[in-house]
Amino acid sequence: MGAIETPTRLSLTVEQYEAMHDAGVFADEARVELIDGVIYEMAPPGSPHHSIVMRLNLFFCNHLATRATISPQGPLKLPPDSYPQPDLQLLAPREDFYEAGTPQSGDVLLLIEVSASTLRFDRKVKLPMYARRGVVEVWIIDVARKRIEVSTGLAEGGYGNRRVVEQGGVILPTAFPDFPVRWGDVFG
């Protein structure tokens, strides 16, 4: 009797993923992300999730539009094998608004994931991936518990600083220490 062989997992690169996208493999409305070489189909956002994204988009546009490019649910290219679409990114301003190329980790001033049904995935898979690729600050908004998990201070294996902001709390984003973001600015 022969040995049982284990199938080999094929990991995709950013270039392969972009080629698939350009070839029309994914429908325009498809919510797919490449994370560590694996394509994930993401669930469509529900009302609480979408409401927070819209609230934050308006809030940051009203207060930081001259200091950052606000990118709601836009792509982020993280070579060699990740291409997520975070819920909201504050990017370093560029005159071309990233027409010449998709933002990469060095462009991200603040990245926000709104987690209504994906909290575990965002914490265990996406957050470490963002740290490995050098994203300096990530907020995970826990919709169910109405709290914000702030991760900063890149360290080997992840983020060195993590704090939870609950009702009444205030966050000073690393890139904008003069700009307080209150819990109510996120949850209304």
Residue 100 lies in a domain: yes
Q: Who contacts 175 (Cβ-Cβ below 8 Å, separation ≥6)?
A: 68, 90, 109, 110, 136, 137
Return the pLDDT at 187: 95
Asked if residue 10 has pLDDT above 80, the reply is no
> Chain-centre distance of CA 10, in angstroms?
24
Residue 97 lies in a domain: yes
What percentage of residues in the chain have a pLDDT greater than 70? 98
What percentage of residues in the chain have a pLDDT greater than 90? 84
For the segment 103-159, what is each residue's pLDDT rounded down to a tens digit?
999 999 999 999 999 999 999 999 999 999 999 999 999 999 999 999 999 998 899
Q: What total of structural domains would you count in the chain?
A: 1
Mean pLDDT taken over the chain: 93
pLDDT-wise least confident of 28-32, 133-137, 168-172:
28-32
* Verdict on whether the full-model pTM lies above 0.75: yes
For the segment 127-143, what is each residue's pLDDT rounded down to a tens digit?
999 999 999 999 999 99
Residue 89 lies in a domain: yes
Residue 26 lies in a domain: no
Residue from 115, 109, 106, 83 nearest 19 by CA: 83
What CATH number does residue 58 fall under?
Answer: 3.90.1570.10
- Structural domain harbouring 84: 45-187
